[in-house]
Amino acid sequence: MKFIEEIFTCPDCGCHILEEIMTDVVQTTRITGIEDGIFEYGYTCVDGGVCERIQCMECGFVLKDDNDNTIQYANELANCPHINLEKT
Ligand SMILES: [Zn+2]
């Protein structure tokens, strides 16, 4: 396994952390109680969804490939100039 922190460097801020931005997600949260008219919540479960983009967690720089297409899947990272898959 390659750690993202070792193969990604954000060109804008130098951060090494990526995050996936999902849309159309179904979130389910257990309601454990109520106090003063406000629910208390337990665990949350997230299901489904589609990756809209992958971005730098610090500044929001969006990963794109050599043709300026937004990267959404891991198998597209090889075409991103900011990802070094050769690094071990
Ligand atoms: Zn950044």
Q: What is the pLDDT of residues 24-83, one digit of tens each?
A: 999 999 999 999 999 999 999 999 999 999 999 999 999 999 999 999 999 999 899 999
Cα angle 47, 52, 56 (rounded to 5 degrees) comes to: 105
User: Rounded to the nearest whole angstrom, what is the distance from the C-alpha of residue 26 to the centroid of ligand 1?
Assistant: 28
Residue 88: the pLDDT is: 66
Question: Is residue 30 helix, strand or coil?
Answer: strand
User: Rounded to the nearest whole angstrom, what is the distance from the C-alpha of residue 16 to the centroid of ligand 1?
Assistant: 8
Rounded distance between C-alpha atoms, residue 79 and residue 72, angstroms: 12
Query: Which sign does the torsion angle of CA 5, 54, 72, 21 carry?
Result: positive
Could you report the per-residue pLDDT of 5-26, keeping only the tens digit for each? 999 999 999 999 999 999 999 9
